[in-house]
A = this chain, B = another copy of it.
């Protein structure tokens, strides 16, 4: 029962209505605040009002972005189709080397991309900010583990057996395809292009699309046969679907006897170090460990450009928490934020996403008598021209991984809570009967066992009561995304009393996992717009990157080719570099307009034009506002405004010192800062 913000037919009209409502609330609040100020209200009151207004503006920006990305794209006044928009973004990205298909001169390899200089700088800015926002601000323990991973680790984690996609082969050429992709393409094509299909048939295709992720190999194969789907390139018949493991396999050492894989996620490296990290943290829970690094998935047929690739940078956090207390100390500070939410049940039943407060979503989502969670997962998605894209996956992995590695390695991966004095404790003992569960659930047995073991006391006792009265009970297994029937002989539940000086338990793990490449691609789309040139004879491309992530913070150029001006430009550039502010000189004799256009297309937020030897012009990219600053102050001003100590508004109001609280600390604040919301 995952809650996720995902693709749906949220209509443009309802978004426009929501936007208008939000705007009038903002106007009203703005007026109220001005009255507060003029009536001499206390600082605390005014601060409170500012905070509320900022929150409203963030919500408005979020609605605006959704609206922008829906069906057609309005880039600064000119409305173009999503495909044309994507083409414009991608052309600009490739031309300016934000990214390059890897090994291009050899024809490239599907699913592998290089970041060129500006892309590389954006990535390094996003990662530096991620470190500041999470590792530093939240006191996380960062680790850095190898990509090459021996088989035993990934056997324990389940990846060797289960990290697969279903594949079909062209029976003549041997070409490979993802079975679900072929079925999805077929249904979408029918729905969009075959106007002759009857309503029943259309409903069937829609249903297939809704349940696509839940279909077994047999079910997929049956549908492919039923619809006569053939190989798209050759029209040859297709094999039955069979699982293909997505890990890149290799051999470690020269003997050929030691199989290894390139890690498919960074998380396992953290789990196997749990014990050391727990000691490093002074044997205290909760704590979080994090890792930034490459992950590898040998996709069957990569598509969607930078979104589905075979090698990518993950930034993962593992929160190790007491399973009896999964509260977050700073939760109250975000619980009022509103999001577009899409619970799994409503996805399946064909309903649409709706706006909910985080607090409401979390509390609605609390376990009740009938819901039992082994794990839970929320996808944080960002809308792009490809639809809603999962960029951060937040999963409750419960005790699954630590238990798996403890079992396989024999190491005790547990935490202790020492009691002040020995306590008589009643211990809940849940013993799944693996033999019976195996007979009933076969390949799914492990998931069901984990779900049973992860029940809290109330859930377990309710189940015990139900089994005793009714002999069986419906039990929802989140990792399977379905409900199964548990019978009396499948599990024994009891309570036992004993005296204990401490409580020893396997911590639960909550994992937010950030796909850095996906975040960056969405950032590109959200930052891109076009505006007419001065002569209005062509459309110019602009990336409105916030200074925080902009690949280059500042361009410096002399107004005219003139040795004195060039010297000043070089001096300013040197000072910026020494202060750690990335900048680019442009000493070509090209017209100012062309130089601005070049710099706008790289998303450079500020341009310094040297038009005298004592003071210079600074121009802001989006507003095209210009201010004059003395030569010896310019580097400090650019540094302040590009590192977020001051906004452009602050600066343009003659450097009135107004400190901005720039950095937030929740996941969503991270994304917001990256996207400049």
Contacts and interface: CB of A to CB of B under 8 A. Distances in A.
Nearest to A252: B109
B244 A146 contact: no
Contact of A174 (B109, B255, B409): B255
Contact of A105 (B104, B132, B272): B272
A477 interface: no
Interface string A7-33: 000000000000000000000000000
Interface string A555-570: 0000000000000000
Nearest to A258: B109
A434 interface: no
Contact of A253 (B300, B411, B588): B300
A409 B105 CA distance: 6
Interface stretch (A120-128, A210-218, A445-453, A538-546): A120-128
Interface string A617-655: 000000000000000000000000000000000000000
Contacts of A145: 102, 114-115
A61 interface: no
A119 B144 contact: yes
A136 interface: yes
A551 to B, nearest CB: 10
Interface stretch (A35-43, A182-190, A574-582): A574-582
Contacts of A272: 103-106
Contacts of A100: 273, 276
A432 interface: no
B120 A296 contact: no
A405 interface: yes
A124 B167 CA distance: 40
A310 B146 CA distance: 9
A114 B148 contact: no
A108 to B, nearest CB: 9
A176 interface: yes
B146 A311 contact: yes
Interface in A459-492: none
B97 A280 contact: yes
Given A280-B97, A577-B137, A116 B148 contact: no
Interface in A582-639: 582, 588
Interface in A213-272: 244, 248-255, 258, 260, 262, 269, 272
A296 B251 CA distance: 12
A294 interface: yes
Given A144-B120, A145-B114, A252-B109, A103 B276 contact: no
A311 B148 contact: yes
- The listed residue with most B CB atoms (<10 A of its CB), out of A117, A145, A244, A254, is A254
Interface string A80-115: 000000000000000001001011111001101111
Contacts of A276: 97, 100, 104, 116
A57 interface: no
Given A97-B280, A112-B148, A250-B250, 20 more contacts: A102-B145, A102-B269, A103-B150, A105-B405, A106-B150, A109-B150, A116-B276, A117-B143, A117-B280, A119-B144, A120-B143, A120-B144, A121-B142, A147-B296, A148-B311, A248-B252, A249-B250, A250-B262, A253-B300, A254-B298
Interface string A147-166: 11110110000000000000
A136 B311 contact: no
A329 interface: no
A394 B222 CA distance: 60
A282 interface: yes
Given A120-B144, A269-B114, A311-B146, A252 B106 contact: no
A663 interface: yes
A141 interface: yes
A638 to B, nearest CB: 14
A409 B126 CA distance: 34
A206 interface: no
A117 B141 contact: yes
A294 B296 CA distance: 13
Contacts of A260: 109, 248
A114 B252 contact: no
18 contacts: A102-B146, A102-B269, A105-B405, A106-B152, A106-B272, A106-B408, A113-B146, A114-B145, A115-B145, A117-B142, A117-B280, A120-B142, A123-B144, A136-B582, A147-B147, A175-B255, A248-B252, A249-B251
A258 B580 CA distance: 43
A102 B143 CA distance: 11
Contacts of A104: 272-273, 276
